Amino acid sequence: MKNKKVNLNDICFFQEGPGVRKYQYCTKGVKLINVSNLVNGEVDLSNSNRYISQEEAYGRYKHFLIDEGDLIIASSGIKVEYLDKKVAFIKKENLPLCMNTSTIRFKVKNKNELDILYLSYFLKSKNFKNQISKLITGSAQLNFGGSHLKKINLFLPELNVQKKVSTLLLLIDNTIKNMQRKISILEQLTKSLFTRMFGDIKTNDKNWKIKKFHKIISILTDYHANGSYKILKDNVELLDFKEYALMIRTTDLENNNFIQGVKYINEKAYNFLKKTKIFGGELIINKIGSAGNVYLMPYLNIPVSLGMNQFMIRLKKNYSNIFYYKLLTTEYYTNVIKSNVQGAVTKTITKEAIKNIDIIIPPIELQNKFAERIEKIEKLKFEIEKSIEIAQNLYDSLISKYFDN
């Protein structure tokens, strides 16, 4: 049997939260759910401190009290691309709980016609995002309500098909979340390993030697070391198609993506930029924008050249790039670096500021021992991330197949 086209209003009940005012907030009573409590498809009330009194909750707002199994979605203050992260089911442990502004709850009218889990995946689909975006104009952020939802349509298969699809998507969803939790555990392991081996770096309680950063740097350079703006413009052209060498940019490093949406240069340009050839293992520091952000360049086994607005650092022998990358990305050193960033509008950091950062110098044997352990952890993370990517691609293809029609 073909899927039938239905209007959202015909198959489910939806209700907007009330506009509870600040003066009504209490320090105890019944918690109010807000957009910020919807995190990655889950309800997180751990940092919630907004309550209304028991009297109001079970009096004037009793029809806004949430039930176990209700489906909640954020309806305001978010960008459309993040909407799928703001859809969640209410669990028993979340109760008692009351709706608040910028949230909408859904209930199924006929359970023999619509599976609410299936509905939740529709609300995460591109189809729903596209429909709701077309109904809202003039704002970068979503702000929709019941009047908009009444205009939403979807194609609905038989109930048994809905249940099969939603069960499979839930299985993939949970698999991805479990793997993400494993990555979080490995990241915590890295932090605890660092502290165990090197102590509290803020107080330097292990009394490591301290030097200025430039004392351990072999090369500190940037794109413009290759010539003036005019010379660079005349000799280097960024290409959108695959060519001889990859031109590494901040966005590539931040996304850990060196295949999609990247820029290339030809062999002539690569050889012209001889002072900033990248081989892997270098420390990369942003000069402008997110100035002071530190990255470790992976080994890509292809020709790579440094992009604009970045510094490239190679350390002297007997200094571990892995150790110093982990050191510079600790909370303490992140704050030290950021304290050297200048500019009210455009944030920048200079070579001199980087050179003059005080840095601890543990024995190279200890640095290498740490690096060896980190490489093992990173290898595990890489394998898990590959599995997440495969699962995510399967999830996306199923969402597209059943909802984006």
What is the mean pLDDT of the segment spanning 203-230?
A: 96
- Residue 138: the pLDDT is 59
Q: Please report, as a single letter, which amino acid is at residue 5.
A: K
What is the mean pLDDT of the segment spanning 211-235?
A: 95
What domains does the chain contain, in order, with CATH numbers? 4-156 (3.90.220.20), 209-361 (3.90.220.20)
Do 305 and 232 form a contact (C-beta atoms < 8 A)? no
What is the mean pLDDT of the segment spanning 347-356?
A: 96
**Block residue for tokens 């510094």:** 311
Where does the pLDDT of residue 256 fall: very low under 50, low under 70, confident under 90, or very high at 90 and above?
Answer: confident
- Residue 139: the pLDDT is 67
Where does the pLDDT of residue 323 fall: very low under 50, low under 70, confident under 90, or very high at 90 and above?
Answer: very high
Q: What are the backbone angles phi and psi of residue 166, rounded to the nearest 5°?
A: -65, -35
Virtual CA dihedral for 21, 26, 27, 33, nearest 10 degrees?
-50
Where does the pLDDT of residue 270 fall: very low under 50, low under 70, confident under 90, or very high at 90 and above?
Answer: very high
Residue 215 CA to residue 355 CA, distance in Å, equals 8
Helix (H/G/I), strand (E/B), else coil: 377 = helix
9-33 per-position pLDDT tens digit: 999 999 999 989 999 999 999 999 9
Q: What are the backbone angles phi and psi of residue 116, rounded to the nearest 5°?
A: -65, -30
Helices (H) and strands (E) in the chain, counts: 13, 23
Where does the pLDDT of residue 235 fall: very low under 50, low under 70, confident under 90, or very high at 90 and above?
Answer: very high
112-166 per-position pLDDT tens digit: 999 999 999 999 999 999 999 999 865 667 889 999 999 999 999 999 999 999 9
Residue 125 CA to residue 240 CA, distance in Å, equals 29
74-124 per-position pLDDT tens digit: 999 888 889 999 999 999 999 999 999 899 999 999 999 999 999 999 999
- Residue 3: the pLDDT is 84
Asked if pLDDT for residue 1 goes beyond 70, the answer is no
Residue 33 DSSP label: -
Radius of gyration of the chain (CA): 26
Which run of H or of E encompasses 35? none
Residue 398 DSSP label: H
- Residue 48: the pLDDT is 84
Output the DSSP codes for 252-312: HHHHT-SSTT-EEE-HHHHHHTGGGEE-SS-EEEE-BSSTT-EEE----SS-EEE-TTEEE
Q: Which two tokens stand for residue 261?
A: 């949406």
Residue 226 CA to residue 234 CA, distance in Å, equals 12
- Residue 77: the pLDDT is 86
Residue 305 CA to residue 314 CA, distance in Å, equals 14
Enumerate residues 6+ apart whose C-beta is below 8 A from 269. Answer: 235, 236, 237, 245, 305
Bigger pLDDT: 142 vs 312? 312
Residues in the chain, total: 405
- Residue 286: the pLDDT is 95
- Residue 404: the pLDDT is 83
The lowest-confidence range among 79-83, 166-170, 324-328 is 79-83
Q: What are the backbone angles phi and psi of residue 338, rounded to the nearest 5°?
A: -65, -30
CB atoms within 10 A of CB 245: 21
Residue 292 CA to residue 347 CA, distance in Å, equals 9
Residue 238 CA to residue 336 CA, distance in Å, equals 34
Mean pLDDT in the chain?
94
| Residues above pLDDT 90, as percent of the chain | 90
What is the mean pLDDT of the segment spanning 341-361?
A: 94
What is the mean pLDDT of the segment spanning 286-290?
A: 91
Give pairs for 48-54: CB < 8 Å, separation 24+: 50/25, 50/100, 51/25, 51/26, 51/27, 52/20, 52/24, 52/25, 52/26, 52/98, 53/24, 53/26, 53/29, 54/29, 54/30
Where does the pLDDT of residue 345 fall: very low under 50, low under 70, confident under 90, or very high at 90 and above?
Answer: confident
Write a three-state SS string for 197-221. Answer: HHCCCCCCCCCCEEEEHHHHEEEEE
- Residue 164: the pLDDT is 96
Integer angstrom CA distances of residue 231 from 38, 72, 244, 273, 284: 51, 57, 20, 11, 24
